[in-house]
Amino acid sequence: MGDSRTSQPLLTERFGRAFLLADEVHRRQLRKGTSIPYIAHPMAVASLVLDYGGSEDAAIGALLHDAVEDSADGPAMDAAIRVRFGDHVADIVLACSDAVAIPGQPKPPWQARKAAYLEHLAQETRPDVLLVSACDKLHNARAINADFRAVGDDVWERFSPPDPTLHVWYYTSLAETYGSAIPERLRTDLQREVALMRSQARLDGHEQEEPSGTVADEDPPQSADHALLIRQFNQDMRAVYERAKTEAGYNATYFLGMLSEHGGLETAQRLLAAPHISDGFTALWEKKRLDLTVEAVVLRPEYVGLFTDEELDQARRRLAEFGYIPAGA
């Protein structure tokens, strides 16, 4: 086979330094139920990120994606990654973590962590975060399916909880939540592995119900449909920012920053909880475009289930005070 080369390396010494840090974090770990060094997993995830077109920062994030979960001190590791590799990489790692290791404290229960991660993922829009997250789940799904072929149902005993229904629910929800936000080839590959997992767990052809009551004292995790609704809400919040800019000549930079930091749902909740209307609301009222306010988006019929009665009442009061009643509200 011919040897292809570039004039400049596509991966710099930063990638090598990230590998050394990942090896330091995971050196004594093994993959669940195997004698495989754990470092094989972040290596595989980094390889997948590059295969699906990711940048060096995304690949470094993949190498370190479990570092704040598995190090002795998660906040200290997060700070170290920021110093050594920059905020972009550190933000990828933190966003791909379903827990941060706190010295002397156990991780939250599995079901609570996974439900919270799905909720976070539904609001996530950063391409590098979604790419690394999906590659992580793809490699895990492939490993589960390969191990099932080797040991059968015993593979589920490696997990806590060992109930295959929970794991199939989680991976099905992940695949649906990523939707079209990840590269098409990656989406297809993940969906294929999830379908195989369902089949091997003998859930293929049966409706996959959201687990409830499996873990004591926990709220049931949100459904994939709910997660997709949150993602759609987040997209519509971005859309009103763009429309305000192009149709009303109003560039809501502070609002955009809130969306980037908190996601659409939390941004709306924060604005509704504020004691006064926002500057953006006032600006859009002056431009006679209250249809582009957060309050108007919140009151769209498809989204009312995301908010409490108090939040909905607040949105209605604010709009009514300025003489605007949304259609269907």
- The pLDDT tens digits of the residues spanning 270-290 come to 999 998 899 899 999 999 999
State whether 257 and 141 are in the same domain: no
State whether 313 and 233 are in the same domain: yes
List CB contacts of 207: < 8 A, sequence separation 6 or more. Answer: none
Tokens 């992580």, residue located: 136
* Numbers of helices and strands, H then E, in the chain: 15, 0
Q: Is residue 218 part of a domain?
A: no
Q: What is the pLDDT of residues 211-250, one digit of tens each?
A: 544 443 444 445 567 778 888 888 899 899 889 989 999 9
State whether 174 and 246 are in the same domain: no
State whether 46 and 129 are in the same domain: yes
Q: Is pLDDT at 33 greater than 90 in this prediction?
A: no
Least-confidence region, from 153-167, 254-268, 307-321: 254-268
State whether 311 and 237 are in the same domain: yes
State whether 69 and 193 are in the same domain: yes
Compute the distance between CA of residue 116 and CA of residue 321 in angstroms, rounded to an integer: 36
Least-confidence region, from 18-27, 42-51, 112-121: 112-121
Structural domain for 79, as ranges: 13-200
Q: Is residue 117 part of a domain?
A: yes
329 or 139, which is more confident? 139
DSSP 27: T
- Which amino acid makes up residue 140? N
Domain count, the chain: 2
Q: Is residue 170 part of a domain?
A: yes
DSSP string across 254-311: HHHHHHHHHHHHHHHHHHHHSSS--HHHHHHHHTT-GGGSHHHHHTSGGGGGGS-HHH
- Which amino acid makes up residue 151? V
Alpha-carbon radius of gyration of the chain: 22
Compute the distance between CA of residue 319 and CA of residue 122 in angstroms, rounded to an integer: 28
State whether 65 and 195 are in the same domain: yes
Tokens 């990230």, residue located: 18
State whether 28 and 148 are in the same domain: yes
State whether 254 and 159 are in the same domain: no
Q: Is residue 6 part of a domain?
A: no
Compute the distance between CA of residue 96 and CA of residue 93 in angstroms, rounded to an integer: 5
CATH number at residue 47: 1.10.3210.10
Q: Is residue 126 part of a domain?
A: yes
State whether 257 and 172 are in the same domain: no
User: What is the value of pTM for the model shown?
Assistant: 0.65
Q: Is residue 157 part of a domain?
A: yes
Compute the distance between CA of residue 206 and CA of residue 215 in angstroms, rounded to an integer: 23
Q: What is the pLDDT of residues 286-302, one digit of tens each?
A: 999 999 999 999 999 99
List CB contacts of 106: < 8 A, sequence separation 6 or more. Answer: none
Query: Average pLDDT, whole number, for the chain?
Result: 88
Q: Is residue 256 part of a domain?
A: yes
Q: Is residue 80 part of a domain?
A: yes
3-class DSSP state of 98: coil
The answer to whether the beta carbons of residues 133 and 96 sit under 8 Å apart is yes
Q: Is pLDDT at 4 greater than 70 in this prediction?
A: yes
Of the candidates 151, 172, 187, the one whose C-alpha atom is nearest the C-alpha of residue 52 is 187
Of the candidates 59, 63, 54, 53, the one whose C-alpha atom is nearest the C-alpha of residue 24 is 63
